[in-house]
Amino acid sequence: MGTKIVPVSITCKSLSKKQRSLEILARLKRLYPDATCSLNYSTPVQLLVATILSAQCTDERVNKVTPTLFGKFPDAASLAIADLVELESLVRSTGFYRNKAKNIQAACRMIVTEFNSVVPNQMEQLLKLPGVARKTANVVLAHAYGINAGVTVDTHVKRLCERLGLTEAKDPVRIEQDLIGLLPQPDWENWSIRLIYHGRAICKARSPVCVACELADLCPAANKPVVVG
């Protein structure tokens, strides 16, 4: 085991938090120009279900589960009356499958009974659905309806924004509010998607590759010892 020290950056110290945020955004757009939602879906209901399944699970794993799931239960009406045991079996490999299956069915029943079988396109209504918090609602609004109502904060976004010194908050809702104040609204969702790509490729949880990171001069955490070897 060893450590590698990334030199202190003049750029990082000389720019305000907002200036750094906008420069990070510009670089992320250049690095990941085609970045988009990694979940496979055909309808807003399917995106909602896939996003619920993605909690504590990789998008890759979810995408292995959803073809069979949506082949049997393609819409809110069919999911609302699905056999719960069968539903649990179909989503089992995504983890926490009993709670996810219960929430998916309950959410779809509410969509059928209260929203005429259409996934709502308003934050307040989405948050009424079982199993839906702001992260899921933001994903659905942005990718199903083209509405940037907020900034999606998942584990990658939380980790990277802390390392980049853009927030001191630990709660996802407070992190989201900090980011809303730093970023232009049209970029709220693509910021999250591109950060997720960067988190997977470079800024990993246990071993960030700071020497290969094109954001290193903008990142206070790049000045700290990084365990390697």
- Which helix (H) or strand (E) segment holds residue 4: the answer is strand 2-4
Active site residues per annotation = 135, 154
Report the distance separating Cα 18 and Cα 181, nearest Å: 8
Q: Under the phi-then-psi rule, with left for phi > 0, alpha for psi from -120 to 50, and beta for the rest, what region is 131?
A: left
Report the distance separating Cα 67 and Cα 63, nearest Å: 7
Handedness of CA 7, 196, 205, 155 (dihedral sign): positive
Helices 44-53, 97-114: inter-axial angle, 10-degree rounding? 150
Tokens 């750094």 — which residue? Answer: 20
Quote the tokens at residue 135.
Answer: 């992260």
Tokens 């509010």 — which residue? Answer: 177
Secondary structure (3-state) at 226 = strand
